[in-house]
C-alpha cells in the first residue's frame, strides 16, 4: 500500500462593522473597505430584500447616487436585483437561480462581489448563490434586521430549504465583510425587531450570565425597542457569536456539538410545520422555553433561574406556546436533528445560566410533559384569546402540508 496525507491550514478574517447611513455622502465604510482590498475597481452585483426596498424611503436613489460618487472605485454591474425576503424565499430554487443567472450574464468572477442587503433569509439565499457560483464569489452582508445583525448575518453559514427541511442545502463560506447599519432597524415591524432578542437570550444563556442579567434588567426597554438597549444587545450578541466561531475549534461544524443551536431543534420544526408563519425568532423563543423547562426537570437549573428565563422571554413580548406544538413528533424531530448534526444526537441544555452541557440521550416523554407545562402556563396567564386566533390559521394537522 502507498499512502499520502494532505494537511493544510486556512486563515479567515473579516470585519463586522456597526454604523449608520451606510450609503450617505459622509459615510466612508464601504469606500474604505474597497480601497483596502487591493482591487483596482471592484465589480459588484447588489441583491436587495424587497421589503427593505419598499420600506426604506429613497433607498434605491441613495444607492444610485452612492454608485455615481464612487464610480472610480466601484462598478455596480447592473441595477439592484430585488428579491422577496422572508423564509419563503428559501423555499424557492428560482431565487438562487436568478442570482446565478445574473452572475453568468454579467461575467462576474471569483474576485467580484455580491452585496446582499436584507434580512437573514435573503442573506442565506444570496450567500448560498455566491458560494456555489464559480465555487465562490466574494460576499458582503448588509443585515437589516435585529436577528440578522446579531446572529444570522455575522457567521459563516448559508443555506436554503429543501425536501420540507430547513437549511437542508447549504455551505460554510465566510463573508468578506459584515456591515450593520442601525438605521435599517427603524423600518422593521415589531415582530421583526423582537425576533433577534431571542437569539441574544439564547447566546447569553449558554455563554454569558452577566449578559443575561443585563438583558433581564433591560427587558422593559427591550420590549419597547429602545434604541440604546437594542443596539447594546446587538453588539454584545454579535461579539459572543463571533467569539464562539473563533475559539470553539469547530467553525465548520465537523463535530456534533452545536451549542449555538440551544432551543433550535424545536424551532426548526415549528418553522417547517407552519411554513414560516411562526418566524425564526418566535420559534427560538418557544424552543428556549422548552429546553429550559427540560433542563430544570433534569436538575440542570433551579426554580429561580427558570423563572427569570421565562419571565424575560414573556416580558420582551414573546408567546411561549403555540397550538402547533401538539403536532410535533418529538422522537422524529430529534432523529432529523441528529441527521443534521452528522448522525450523533447532541442537544445543548443548561446546567446553569451562562453554562451549558451536551445531552446525547433525551427523554421523549419528559419533553412532551414540558410542552404541556408551557400550554398550562399560557392558559393561566390569560392568553386564550391570542392563541385561539393563531389556531384559526392552523386548523387541522399541519404535518399533512409538509412536503
CATH number at residue 45: 3.40.50.1970
Instruction: Determine, yes or no, domain membership for 219.
Output: yes
State whether 158 and 290 are in the same domain.
no
| Judgement on whether residues 167 and 203 belong to the same structural domain of the protein | no
- In angstroms, the Cα distances linking 20 to 179, 181, 231, 279, 315 are 10, 5, 12, 26, 29
| pLDDT(394) > 50 | no
> Taking a C-beta distance cutoff of 8 angstroms, is the pair 143, 120 a contact?
yes
The C-alpha cell that represents 172 in the structure block: 460554510
Dist CA 145 CA 85 (whole Å): 11
**Would you say residue 120 lies in a domain?**
yes
Per-residue pLDDT tens over the stretch 277-334: 999 999 999 999 999 999 999 877 999 999 999 999 999 999 999 999 988 888 888 8
396 within a domain of the structure (yes/no): no
Same domain, 233 and 320: yes
Alpha-carbon gap, residue 277 to 146, rounded angstroms: 18
* Same domain, residue pair 204 and 278: yes
Residues linked to residue 171 through DSSP beta bridges, in sequence order: 158
Is 108 domain-assigned?
yes
Percentage of the chain modeled with pLDDT above 90: 70
**Residue 382, pLDDT score:** 62
Residues 42 and 163 in one domain: yes
Q: Which cell goes with 214? A: 443585563
Positive/negative CA dihedral, 383, 384, 390, 394: positive
Residues 197 and 147 in one domain: no
Q: Are residues 218 and 153 in the same domain?
A: no
| Domain CATH code at residue 347 | 1.20.1090.10
Q: Are residues 206 and 313 in the same domain?
A: yes
Same domain, 77 and 105: yes
Query: How many Å apart are CA 205 and CA 304, to the nearest integer?
Result: 14
**Among candidate residues 163, 187, 211, the one where a domain is terminated:** 187
Residue 86 resides in a domain: yes
- Whether 194 maps to a domain, the answer reads yes
User: pLDDT digit string (tens) for 226-281?
Assistant: 999 999 999 999 999 999 888 876 677 665 456 578 888 899 889 889 988 999 99
Position 398 confidence tier, pLDDT thresholds 50, 70, 90: very low
Residue 5 domain-assigned (yes or no) = no
- 225 and 323 fall within a common domain: yes
Query: What confidence score (pLDDT) does residue 40 get?
Result: 78
Indicate whether 274 and 373 sit together in one domain: yes
pLDDT tens-digit profile of 372-392? 999 998 777 764 444 434 433
Residue ending a domain, among 159, 187, 215, is 187
- Give residue 206's domain range: 190-248+255-391
- Say if residue 340's pLDDT is above 80: no
Position 403 in a domain? no
What confidence tens digit (pLDDT) does each residue in 41-61 have?
899 999 999 999 999 999 999
pLDDT-based confidence at 396, cuts 50/70/90? Answer: very low
- Grid cell, residue 48, equals 436587495
- Determine how many CB atoms are found less than 10 A away from the CB of residue 125: 29
Percentage of the chain modeled with pLDDT above 70: 91
Q: pLDDT averaged over the chain?
A: 89
Question: pLDDT for 86-133, tens place per residue?
Answer: 888 999 899 999 999 999 999 999 999 999 999 999 999 999 999 999
In the chain, what is the greatest distance between 2 CA atoms, to the nearest angstrom?
72
Number of domains in the chain: 2
Residue that wins the pLDDT comparison between 202 and 360:
202
- Please check whether residues 113 and 154 belong to one and the same domain: yes
- Decide which of 187, 208, 225 is a domain's last residue: 187
Question: What is the average per-residue pLDDT within 190-219?
Answer: 96
Amino acid at each position: 500500500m502507498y499512502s499520502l496525507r494532505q494537511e493544510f491550514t486556512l486563515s479567515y478574517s473579516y470585519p463586522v462593522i456597526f454604523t449608520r447611513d451606510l450609503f450617505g455622502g459622509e459615510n466612508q465604510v464601504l469606500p474604505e473597505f474597497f480601497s483596502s482590498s487591493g482591487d483596482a475597481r471592484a465589480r459588484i452585483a447588489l441583491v436587495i430584500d424587497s421589503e427593505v426596498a419598499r420600506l426604506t424611503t429613497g433607498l434605491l436613489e441613495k444607492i444610485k447616487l452612492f454608485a455615481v460618487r464612487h464610480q472610480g472605485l466601484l462598478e455596480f454591474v447592473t441595477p439592484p436585483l430585488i428579491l422577496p425576503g422572508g423564509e419563503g424565499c428559501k423555499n424557492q430554487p428560482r431565487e438562487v437561480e436568478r442570482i446565478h443567472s445574473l452572475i453568468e450574464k454579467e461575467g462576474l468572477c471569483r474576485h467580484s462581489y455580491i452585496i446582499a442587503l436584507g434580512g437573514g433569509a435573503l442573506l442565506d439565499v444570496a450567500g448560498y448563490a455566491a458560494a456555489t457560483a464559480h465555487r465562490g464569489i466574494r460576499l458582503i452582508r448588509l443585515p437589516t434586521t435585529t436577528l440578522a445583525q446579531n446572529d444570522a448575518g455575522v457567521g459563516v453559514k448559508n443555506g436554503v430549504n429543501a425536501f420540507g427541511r430547513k437549511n437542508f442545502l447549504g455551505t460554510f463560506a465566510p463573508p468578506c465583510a459584515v456591515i450593520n447599519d442601525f438605521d435599517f432597524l427603524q423600518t422593521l415591524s415589531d415582530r421583526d425587531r423582537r425576533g433577534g432578542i431571542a437569539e441574544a437570550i439564547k447566546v447569553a444563556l449558554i455563554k454569558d450570565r452577566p449578559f443575561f442579567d443585563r438583558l433581564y434588567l433591560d427587558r422593559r426597554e427591550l420590549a419597547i425597542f429602545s434604541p440604546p438597549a437594542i443596539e447594546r444587545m446587538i453588539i454584545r450578541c454579535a461579539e459572543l457569536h463571533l467569539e464562539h466561531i473563533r475559539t470553539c475549534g469547530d467553525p465548520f461544524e465537523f463535530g456534533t456539538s452545536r451549542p449555538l443551536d440551544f432551543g433550535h431543534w424545536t424551532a426548526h420544526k415549528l418553522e417547517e410545520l407552519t411554513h414560516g408563519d411562526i418566524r425564526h425568532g418566535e420559534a427560538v423563543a418557544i424552543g428556549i422555553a422548552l429546553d429550559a423547562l427540560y433542563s430544570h426537570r433534569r436538575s440542570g437549573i433551579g426554580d429561580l433561574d427558570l423563572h427569570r428565563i421565562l419571565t424575560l422571554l414573556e416580558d420582551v413580548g414573546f408567546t411561549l406556546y403555540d397550538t402547533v406544538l401538539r403536532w410535533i413528533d418529538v422522537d422524529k424531530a430529534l432523529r432529523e436533528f441528529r441527521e443534521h448534526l452528522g448522525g450523533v444526537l447532541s442537544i445543548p441544555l443548561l446546567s446553569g445560566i451562562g453554562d451549558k452541557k451536551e445531552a446525547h440521550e433525551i427523554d421523549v416523554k419528559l419533553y412532551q410533559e414540558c410542552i404541556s407545562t408551557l400550554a398550562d402556563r399560557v392558559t393561566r396567564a390569560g392568553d386564550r384569546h391570542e392563541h385561539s386566533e393563531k389556531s384559526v390559521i392552523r386548523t387541522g394537522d399541519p404535518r399533512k402540508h409538509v412536503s
